[in-house]
Amino acid sequence: MREVMVQYLQHRLLRWFDENQRVFPWREDGATKYQQIVSEILLQRTKAETVAKYFDTFFSKYSDWNALANASLEELEEVMKPLGLYRHRAKRLYKLGEDIRRRGGNIPGNSNELRDSGFIGLYVTNAFELFILRNRKPLLDVNMSRLLKRYFKPGDFIDVRHDKEIQELANDIVEVRRCKELNWAILDYAALVCKSRNPLCDECVLNKHCKYYELSKGNTTFIP
């Protein structure tokens, strides 16, 4: 049954994405790998629309890996202020720039180099694999985790960094040719339909197999 549910989700969400995808600068054909990776860091715990408005401010100042590698922590904090969480974000970007500088300005060229790079966090590592090495990896954040959890196995949320089950599910889900698009589809769907509050289950293209929907139909007091 799990295989059927996986294939159903992949198929339905890619079809939904083709008609409903959100347009953002980091998704455009002209976006560089650098912009795609850094945008993923900016997107964490922030609405995509907010990052889209801020995109030009950041990338006109730090246009490539070299510029990021030469930025000081104080400078990055200053530039990050309009986006919020500026200390946390500046620290992550500074660490990334530091890693790039330590590597002589080169980014990892394969999975082994990436493993040895010291890059922080599963999310950034997966973004590198997906956008630069073109490997099938999930951009697993709280939004993807919420959608997968509801669809496959509703229950208590665990921090995605420690939830092995959801990591395994996310890895299975992105085993498709259009892996990058499916990642974006899940993120868009979680933002627009499978929202954290009041998900639009009755009009959802996944409700036929969704466990959360099944439970909520049988029990009107069900809470995610």
Residue 184 or residue 213: which is nearer to ligand SF4 going by CB? 213
At its nearest, how many Å lie between ligand SF4 and the CB of residue 190?
8
Q: Where are the alpha helices (DSSP H) in 103-193?
A: 111-115, 122-131, 142-152, 164-173, 179-192
At its nearest, how many Å lie between ligand SF4 and the CB of residue 137?
22
Residue 183 contacts residue 174 (beta carbons within 8 Å)? yes
Residue 3 or residue 29: which is nearer to ligand SF4 going by CB? 3
Residue 35 or residue 183: which is nearer to ligand SF4 going by CB? 183
C-alpha 212/C-alpha 224 separation (Å) is: 8
Q: If we measure between CA atoms, which residue out of 154, 148, 142, 110 comes closest to residue 129?
A: 110
Residue 39 or residue 216: which is nearer to ligand SF4 going by CB? 216
At its nearest, how many Å lie between ligand SF4 and the CB of residue 183?
16
At its nearest, how many Å lie between ligand SF4 and the CB of residue 214?
9
C-alpha 157/C-alpha 224 separation (Å) is: 9
Q: Which residues bind ligand SF4 (CB under 6 A)?
A: 147, 150-151, 193-194, 199-201, 204, 206-207, 210, 212-213
CA angle 89, 52, 117 (to 5 degrees): 40
At its nearest, how many Å lie between ligand SF4 and the CB of residue 178?
19
Q: If we measure between CA atoms, which residue out of 41, 21, 22 comes closest to residue 128?
A: 41
Residue 13 or residue 42: which is nearer to ligand SF4 going by CB? 13
Residue 34 or residue 151: which is nearer to ligand SF4 going by CB? 151
At its nearest, how many Å lie between ligand SF4 and the CB of residue 27?
22
Angle between helices 142-152 and 211-218 (to 10 degrees): 60
SS3 assignment, position 57? helix
Residue 196: phi, psi to the nearest 5? -65, -40
